[in-house]
Amino acid sequence: MAALAGPTCAPPGAAPGLAYTLTALAFFAHNIDEILRLPGWAGARGLTIEPAGFANAVLVLTMAAVVVFVAGRTLQFARPVQAVVAVAAGALLANVAAHLAASLVTTSVMPGLLTSVFLVLPSAAWLMIRLPLPASAKWRAGLAGAALMPVLAGGALWSAGGLG
C-alpha cells in the first residue's frame, strides 16, 4: 500500500533542503549589504541611486527568489520547478561575477562583493550541483539565469532612479 502513496523522499542526488535554505539566506544577507552600502558607493562614482527605491526593488527581487527556493525545496520532484531554481541559481552566480568585475574595474570593494563571494557563491554552487536535473538541463537553465541577471539588476537600478 505504501507504494501507492507516492514518493516520500527526494530522488537520489537531489539537493538537500538545506541547500535551498542557505542559498535563500545568503541572497538575503547579500541584498541587505547592497541596500545599506550600494547607493553611497555608486554615488561616489557618479551614479545616482535613490536608496528607498533601490531597497524596494531589491526587496521584490529577494522575495521572488525566496519563493523560487521555497518552491524548489518543497517540490523536489517537479522538474520544471527545479529548472526555475537552476535559472535563479545561475543568476546569483552571474551576480557574483558582476561584483568581482565591478570591483576590479573600479579598483574598489563593491558593496556586496564579500557576501557574494563568501555566502552566495558557495551556497548557489552547492545548490546547482545537487539539483535533481540532468547536467545539460542545469547548464541551459543556469546560463539562462546568467543572461537574465543583467536585466534584473538593471531593472532594479532603473526603478530606483539609477539608470535612464
Task: Summarize pLDDT for 120-132 with one digit per residue, the tens.
Answer: 999 999 999 999 9
Alpha-carbon separation of residue 128 from 14, 47, 74, 100 (angstroms): 10, 33, 16, 20
Confidence label for 3 from pLDDT (cuts 50, 70 and 90): very low
Cα–Cα distance measured from residue 74 to residue 21, given in angstroms and rounded to the nearest whole number: 11
pLDDT of residue 16: 81
This prediction's pTM: 0.87
Task: Summarize pLDDT for 130-146 with one digit per residue, the tens.
Answer: 999 999 999 999 999 99
Grid coordinates representing 51? 536608496
